[in-house]
């Protein structure tokens, strides 16, 4: 059996869609997913870094945005299959700490398996991956993917988005969704 580390936003949940909707409403924008070509959104939009951070915190704190995110296709089915096969699952996220209760509530509401294994990284995810002996980790953050390929022994998967397409995938496997991730890991599930 393996120990899996799973990022939440961009891997299990459609954070991008929810936050784009928030920004469009709050700042009277018409931003589309295709326009996000940098992980640091303010670099590819007319939103300043300061505006972005203000709206990011409002979305999470006042709007309870982390409680109400849509699941990405195949995420829950894939997690359930990993659990059924006896694998250990750790959810390792870089969400701000103010999102802890909303995250707990969201994982419970969706019925995530092994949701008691939720951990918030303080900066780097590498220490948690090493601490829990994670064999396989999937993330979408360019910085995290690069760091984990050099700082850990885990097999790394990168959930593909426009903002991480520039990465050289020599040391990780790029996947476009849960079906490709599970197939690469030879986990049998119908999505």
Q: What is the CATH number of domain 3-13+70-184?
A: 3.40.50.1000
80-89 pLDDT, tens digit per residue, is 999 999 999 9
Phi, psi angles (nearest 5°) of residue 120? -100, 120
State the Cα–Cα distance between residues 181 and 71, nearest whole angstrom. Answer: 16
The predicted structure's pLDDT at residue 191: 54
* Mean pLDDT rounded to a whole number for the chain: 95
Whole-model pTM? 0.95
8-26 pLDDT, tens digit per residue, is 999 999 999 999 999 999 9
| For the chain, domain boundaries | 3-13+70-184, 15-62
Strands 173-175 and 136-139: unpaired
């Amino acid at each position: 059996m393996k120990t899996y580390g799973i990022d939440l936003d961009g891997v299990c949940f459609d954070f991008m869609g929810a936050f784009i909707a928030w920004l469009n409403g709050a700042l009277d924008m018409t931003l589309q997913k295709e326009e996000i070509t940098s992980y640091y959104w303010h670099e590819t939009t007319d939103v300043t870094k300061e505006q972005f951070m203000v709206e990011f915190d409002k979305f999470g704190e006042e709007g309870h945005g982390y409680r109400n995110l849509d699941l990405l296709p195949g995420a829950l089915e894939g997690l359930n299959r990993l659990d059924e096969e006896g694998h250990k699952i750790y959810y390792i996220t870089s969400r701000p700490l103010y999102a802890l209760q909303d995250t707990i509530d969201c994982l419970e509401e969706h019925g995530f398996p092994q949701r008691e294994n939720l951990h918030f990284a303080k900066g780097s995810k590498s220490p948690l991956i090493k601490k829990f002996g994670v064999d396989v980790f999937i993330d979408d953050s360019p910085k995290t993917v690069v760091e984990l390929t050099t700082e850990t022994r885990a097999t790394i998967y990168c959930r593909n988005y426009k903002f991480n397409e520039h990465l050289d995938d020599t040391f990780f496997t790029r996947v476009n969704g849960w079906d490709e991730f599970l197939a690469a890991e030879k986990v049998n599930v119908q999505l």
